[in-house]
A and B are shown apart, each in its own frame.
Chain A
Amino acid sequence: MTMLLEADNITAGYGAVTVLRNLSLHLSDNESIGLFGPNGHGKTTLLMTISGLVRPSSGSIRYDGVDITLNRASDIGAAGLAHSPQGNTLFGEMGVAEILELSAFTRRAKVQRKTQMERVYSLFPRLAERQKQLARTLSGGERQMLSIGCALMCAPRLLMLDEPTLGLSPKLKEELGIAVADIAKSGTPLVVVEQDVQFLLSLTDRLYMIEHGEVVREIDRTDAPDHAEIMKLYFGGDSDD
């Protein structure tokens, strides 16, 4: 089992504000992981640090055996580490098909453009119906689909999804959940940030609970906590037992 992603003792933040504190996690190339925990505790910052949008002040990140801690975001993306950011508005003045085509920008993605495009359209038939529509006129759910679609067009070796179902109706959430599960089944390792632990357990092999910028708990799917215990994790109580 080789490691696809290893983050060691990451400390990162914005200016004087430290968000991540000595955070470590890892992912081997045949598993998917989930990140959960209260809002504002560093999950999004962690993904942004991994994809090169935020510079860590200490610690190191290795992807596919290579140190990428100080690499540019565009180079990390080009290496197949795709990131679908939270609430992404993408390129508002461009059409759906144009954005998807453009997302296969790097050399390794270009080769797979056609097959990935078909895959995106079969995962999200709504996008196929709206190929000419400008991204800014899409609904929230459609934008989310487009954002995931873009990440898929990058021909990912590892796909990070930041709250793919945030703010969506239960019906849309289910639709997206099925699509994400489909991606996971196809063998692309995922890092998924979500609030819904049950949803994460259905998609991923292991979960990290992140609080105050630290991993406070690691959960394996095989000994997953029940609902009451998760509530306890979120809202306090005896979480150390």
Chain B
Amino acid sequence: MTEAMIATILSGLVLGSLYAMMASGLSVVWTTLGVFNFAHGALMTLGAYVAWTISEYLGLGLAAGMVAGTLAAALAGIVIERLLVRPFYTNRNMLLITVMTTLAAMIIIEKGTQVIWGPRLKQLPRIADGELFIFGSAISVHEALIVLIAPVTLIALWAFTARTLTGRSLRAAGQNQTAAALIGIHVPHAYGLAYALSAGLAGFTGVLLGSIRFLTPTLGSEPLVKAMTVVILGGLGSLGATAGAAFVIGFLEAFLVLTVGLYWTPSLLFLTMIVVLIFRPNGLFGGRS
């Protein structure tokens, strides 16, 4: 194997891991509330900036920043659900309305971060310094850790939704509101919790991303588009499908950057998604017709 191929595989692994973490959060809100949260990327940005304030500005260290960034995003998620999604639960055009209201949230958060933190580029420190060499290709220890953190996070998320009563209640509320209420599940609480969980995950991912890229108010917008591509490509359903699709997109992106270059890669990724959906309308891993 050539060095370029190994570098591509490593890059695909890192991208896939990040996308899996972003997309799984998006997927939690989709499967529970049946809405797409367009503010998901902005919540990543918010998490990264809050982490920067705690870690760098106040000098409390990256670990504290990570916790703060995750919590801040989760809190913002609760506020978004409460103010911009919950009023429209019973509206027949809920899906369309919440596209607009969560887009509004995205813009408010983006502009808000610009006002609060200013336009100067910032960066978060890495979890650990140094590089690893795998078959002659270099990968930073930070990125290697992302590759490890992603599956652990996904398994934890899966275990929560599949094995715990609270997690199951989120899925139940997503599949049948009425039946969920009848067995004593307070559906609005379940929705709020799903939003908080998803947003917290976005914030955490934002912190990890903020050590690789510079912090800008639009840090999360390009990843949001990728995450949506992943969720749709995977088939809008299970976490496993979403994770699988995330790595498909990650590897494909790394391969396309190597072969056709950065310029055409986003277009080709979309084209791939469209072609896949033509032949598999329920996504790569969506079994149901």
Chain A residues within CB distance 8 Å of chain B: 51-53, 72-75, 77-78, 82-83, 85, 88-94, 98-99, 101-103, 105-106, 109, 150-151, 153-154
Contact = CB atoms under 8 A, between A and B. Distances in A.
B175 A102 contact: no
A145 to B, nearest CB: 15
B184 A90 contact: no
B182 A83 contact: yes
B178 A105 contact: no
Interface stretch (B17-25, B118-126, B166-174, B254-262): B166-174
Given A52-B181, A109-B183, 15 more contacts: A53-B178, A72-B181, A74-B181, A78-B184, A83-B182, A88-B179, A91-B180, A92-B176, A93-B171, A101-B168, A102-B165, A102-B172, A105-B184, A150-B183, A153-B183
Q: Find the residue from A72, A82, A102 having the highest chain B CB count within 10 A.
A: A102
A150 B179 contact: yes
B54 interface: no
Q: Find the residue from B165, B169, B185 having the highest chain A CB count within 10 A.
A: B185
Contacts of B186: 72, 74-75
* Interface of chain B: mostly helix, strand, loop or mixed: helix
A51 B178 CA distance: 10
A102 B181 contact: no
19 contacts: A53-B182, A73-B178, A74-B180, A74-B185, A74-B186, A77-B183, A77-B184, A83-B182, A88-B176, A93-B175, A93-B237, A101-B168, A102-B165, A105-B184, A106-B184, A109-B184, A150-B183, A153-B183, A154-B184
A53 B180 CA distance: 11
Contacts of B180: 74, 91
A68 to B, nearest CB: 14
A102 B183 contact: yes
Contacts of A151: 182
Interface in B138-165: 165
A109 B175 CA distance: 21
A72 B180 CA distance: 12
B187 interface: yes
Nearest to A90: B179
A214 to B, nearest CB: 25
A91 B187 contact: no
B171 to A, nearest CB: 7
Contacts of A74: 180-181, 184-187
A114 to B, nearest CB: 15
B238 to A, nearest CB: 8
A85 B178 contact: yes
Nearest to B173: A91
A39 to B, nearest CB: 20
A99 to B, nearest CB: 8
A78 B169 CA distance: 14
A108 B97 CA distance: 38
A117 to B, nearest CB: 14
Given A74-B186, A150-B183, A154-B183, A90 B176 contact: yes
Contacts of B184: 74-75, 77-78, 105-106, 109, 154
Q: Find the residue from A52, A92, A105, A153 having the highest chain B CB count within 10 A.
A: A105
Contacts of A77: 181-184
